[in-house]
Amino acid sequence: MQLVFPLATIEVVMLTGVRIAAFLIIAPPFANRAIPGTVKAMLAGGLGLAVAPRAAKASAEAGLGVGQSIASGTATFLGDLLLQVLVGLALGFVVYLVFAAVQSAGAAIDMFGGFQLASAFDPMSMTNGAQWSRLYQLTAIVLLFASDAYQVVIGGLARSFDALPLGADLDLAALAHTLTTGLSQMFVAALQIAGPLIAVLFLADVGLGLLTRVAPALNAFALGFPLKILLTLVLGVTAYLALPSVVAALTDESVTAMLGVAR
């Protein structure tokens, strides 16, 4: 009994798996360090097998002749692998940039509310973060899994093989435009999430400053920390309750951004 594996099919599966693996390394929620690397590798291999027929069809319709790199030589095949790694990393970074708005909003609340003084090391993201930043980040990850939004992200990744078939060159101008747009949208989304609370905390600082000028003996700055913490806890719940709709909107934006890179 002999088993024959066409080299073209093996090459397509490898190229799709490499792009997906590079995407999973950066893109949330799969980039979380709580997910073992073995699970990411198995997920990339399984998705690569599932997407390979679609990727091969899209590449054939584009006339790119995918599946000939192995026959052409090792250097050509390695070049195609590196190109897919670059494409996967670019798509993953675009998704990460979109969802970074939630963490940025939490970091802004921590800074203006005084929680930044109690920042601690987060072993999941390997960064220092305060309470609201970590709360927003973990809540966004939970919502991505609970609402099946991660399936929408994976679906967008699968559609990227139609917009940018295997063997096609990455448009650096489109990538730069998408990254610039994504960066601006991240700041806008962060301000939309945390903006009202930041405005209240800023007005509280202004009021404490005026109170200090009027009655210096009251030591308003000693009252500032508990007052701002109370305002953050009371009003921060409102912004926190809006996270489900925010994550849903960011999921749609991430898929649009991925397809924008591929066009």
Whether the predicted pLDDT of 60 surpasses 70: yes
In a domain, 1, yes or no: no
What are the CA-CA distances from residue 257 to residues 43, 159, 180 (Å)? 23, 12, 11
pLDDT at residue 68 in the model: 59
In a domain, 193, yes or no: yes
In a domain, 108, yes or no: yes
In a domain, 82, yes or no: yes
pLDDT above 70 coverage of the chain, percent: 83
**Full domain range(s) for residue 33:** 7-262
In a domain, 68, yes or no: yes
In a domain, 129, yes or no: yes
Tokens of residue 52, six digits: 């390979």
Whether the predicted pLDDT of 19 surpasses 80: yes
In a domain, 2, yes or no: no
Whether the predicted pLDDT of 217 surpasses 80: no
Which of 110-119, 121-130, 240-249 has the highest mean predicted lDDT (pLDDT)? 240-249
In the chain, how many domains are there?
A: 1
Q: Is 249 exposed, middle or buried (0-12, 13-18, 19+ CB in 10 A)?
A: middle
